[in-house]
Structure 1
């Protein structure tokens, strides 16, 4: 595992691990968590420069962060990744456990059922569903009792738009998995919830919602609050969910869509 950047060794009261934290919603969540005084381990797949920039942004704001490489599509690497996390916690924070696991990393795909290949389907499954399942399994011994897990779904698991069948099916699986995690991890006081963003203005899926004015206007017209979502809408909600006062929220699907298709 490649460590992109790290802070000097120090003790932090709370630490979060955010997969896919170098860009998009993951980056935004990492920034919001850091502003709340949470130390952040973020992961990236290939864009080390973006990961380093995110770490630098957090540290410039007085926070502590480090970035580790992780391929969510390769579950065989998870045991070794957990070992790197263990040593990174000790070296960078003087800690044995982290508090919050944000399973955010993923990939988008737009194709009809007729056009979806088996290879693409398997890739989506490996990253979103299998990746979330087995990464959580690998990291569970490192999550503190009383901690939190937030898994990322999508509004597309509730409403249906042509071209997203395979992607949405994986997210539907995440929602079921989250409830089972909440049940099984409850004895350790670990609360598990799902956040389901609506259409958000990011580079996800090629930046379609952000850059396509016609699509953006359509999303706004179908949203009760009259606009497409923004990254801060999601990052702020994730940071809020892990706060102590929200510890009784458990086993829930929380859609963050501004009221899309209500």
Structure 2
């Protein structure tokens, strides 16, 4: 009796991650870590198309598919059209769902509470709170059951540094939203978590932490591990939280700050 060789099962499809604000800083780093881990990427940018295409080139160099799409997270009226473009990318890739959403895009405003304007407050609210709320809502039909959502917050939602009242208020709202999403999307097996970076050497907020030696030294002095964070410190955590086997982590706030302001 001759035996037949065992049939080889088709390899599972690579996960697809959508990272907003993927052209620079933490979004760029997270996208590269996810690509190295095996993910295919949909990246968004607001205006830095050259930088976004450079990230895409690096991702393709890792052997992963990537699409680059424009998106202004402050413009919630554009989200339905953006979802249609994501649907088209997925169809081109032979898919109808993506697996991981990283709500990363953002900007910083440094202003004392007494001097913060309504315009500054409203801009931060559109970008950091209203944007992720309604973008996630618009993309929800395209997120796979059993998928993951990762919302980026800030260590400033736990500790207080003067000048960041409005920014930190929005991030506190995102942390509450994370718990509600986890509760309401649990029936679809979607886990939702918050990642709160500490101060990181990027161009965020004008690159102050990276370029101002006095600020850099202050942050390092307030951090248990004795240095300022680097983009790789955060990109690696994003990849870990979206890796196979970590889906049972749900409704949690994970701070990656090296032990800042303990």
TM-score, normalised to structure 2, is 0.95
What are the ranges of 5 or more consecutive residues in structure 1 without an aligned counterpart?
Answer: 1-10
CA distance in 1 between counterparts of 2:39 and 2:200 reads 24
State how far apart, in whole Å, the 1-side matches of 2:166 and 2:214 are. 24
| Alignment match, 1:175 | 175
Corresponding position of 1:3: none
After superposition, residues 80-119 of structure 1 pair within 5 angstroms as 80-91=81-92, 93-119=93-119
State yes or no: 1:34 paired with 2:32: no
State the distance in 1 between where 2:48 and 2:202 align. 16
- The structural deviation recorded for 1:60 is 1.2
Structure 2 distance, partners of 1:147, 1:60, is 26
Structure 1 equivalent of residue 22 of structure 2:
21
The equivalent of 1:129 in structure 2 is 129
Q: Which consecutive unaligned segments of at least 5 residues does structure 2 have?
A: 1-11
Separation (CA, whole Å) in 1 of partners of 2:116 and 2:209: 21
Counting only pairs closer than 5 Å after superposition, residues 220-231 of structure 1 correspond to structure 2 as 220-231=220-231
What residue in structure 1 maps to residue 5 of structure 2? none
Distance across 2 between alignment mates of 1:210 and 1:170: 23
Deviations 1:175-203 (A, max 9, x none): 00000000000000000000000000000
Tell me the residue number matched to 2:194: 194
- Does residue 72 (structure 1) correspond to residue 73 (structure 2)? The answer is yes
> Residue in 2 aligned with 1:61?
62
Alpha-carbon shift at residue 13 of structure 1 (Å)? 2.0
State the Cα deviation string for residues 132-173 of structure 1 (Å, max 9, x = none): 000000000000000000001000000000000000000000
Q: Which residue of structure 2 lines up, in the alignment, with residue 204 of structure 1?
A: 204
Match of 1:7 in 2: none
Residue 244 of structure 1: SS of its match in structure 2? coil
Q: Alignment RMSD, CA only?
A: 0.8
Aligned length: 251
In the alignment, is the contact (CA less than 8 A) between 1:12 and 1:39 conserved in 2? no
Separation in 1, partners of 2:78, 2:232: 31
> Which one has a bigger Cα radius of gyration?
2
Q: Distance in 2 between matches of 1:16 and 1:120?
A: 30
When normalised by structure 1's length, the TM-score is: 0.95
Indicate conservation of the 8 Å contact 1:112/1:164, yes or no. yes
CA distance in structure 1 between the partners assigned to 2:71 and 2:233 by the alignment: 26
SS at structure 1 position matched to 2:145: strand
Q: Quick one: distance in 2 between partners of 1:107 and 1:99?
A: 25
